[in-house]
Amino acid sequence: MRAGRDHIGAMRLSSPLPALSRDCALFLDIDGTLIDFSLSPGGVVVPRGLLALLKNLQLRQGGALALLSGRRLGDIEALFGPGFAVGAEHGALLQDAEGQVFAEIRPSAALAALAVPLREAVAAHPGTLLEEKRFGLALHWRAAPEAAGGLQALAARLAAPYPELLLLPAHAALEIRPRGTDKGSALASFMREPPFAGRKPVFVGDDTTDEPAIARANEMGGLGLHVARDFGGATQAVRAWLAESLEREGHGDATA
């Protein structure tokens, strides 16, 4: 894990959101929310102080903090270590803070039919990447935006015979995964389990793949926040809000 140099909490929001209250269950996306994007998923930088901030928030919220990400479980733990509740691969696998998996879907055999031709396609386009996960695939073209159209068209053609697969655009990427699971359903599943049950959910995300969790948090009487709409598009602003919530010791209610 590499640490960045920005100072947690140094940025102040122009229109401050209410502080996160102690009775909330906090759910956080990773890429584009807690950390900035990189040209490849493996090139991201974890800002200095972020891990300590998350640990302090986890303690303050009575353990009710979970990371909901499209990343693989191993990648999340490589960035932040063990000890966090995690919804990996858009909720395909749910693990509690003690490391116990309590829900996971069955991997789709259809993904194998797409993997080989997509590998060949990214090999022919320098700067693109195929991320092969346990429960899905992700095409990335941040370093080669000119390849986006061709890769998306190829993926759509390959996936057409498999109605069980969902293609979902993301930031300079395309997610290919089985239907029937998303971050919204992951959030709802966590909310049925201790220490999340009985609390108000607060979710922060930035992408199309985060919209189901934003909607579900609002539906459940909590608060769904979007990095572009609520934080000016800055991950630093998200980190500053979280840090300020700790500093205020819970005065105000983010779900009011």
Q: How far apart are the first and last CA of the chain?
A: 36
DSSP for 78-91 reads HHH-SSSEEEEGGG
**Residue 29 corresponds to which tokens in the numbers above?**
């996306």
Measured between alpha carbons, how far is 130 from 108 in angstroms, rounded to an integer?
17
Decide: 65 and 231 in contact? Cβ < 8 Å. no
Strand, helix or coil for residue 244: helix
Beta bridge partners of 223: 202
The answer to whether 45 and 236 have CB atoms below 8 angstroms apart is no
* Active-site annotation, residues: 29
Dist. CA 140–CA 122, nearest whole Å: 9
Dist CA 217 CA 209 (whole Å): 14
**Contact 231/242 with Cβ under 8 angstroms?**
no
**Which residue spans within 43-162 are E strands per DSSP?**
46-47, 65-68, 85-88, 93-95, 101-104, 129-132, 137-140
The single residue listed with the structure tokens 């229109």 is: 15
Helix or strand (DSSP H, E) at 166:
strand 165-170
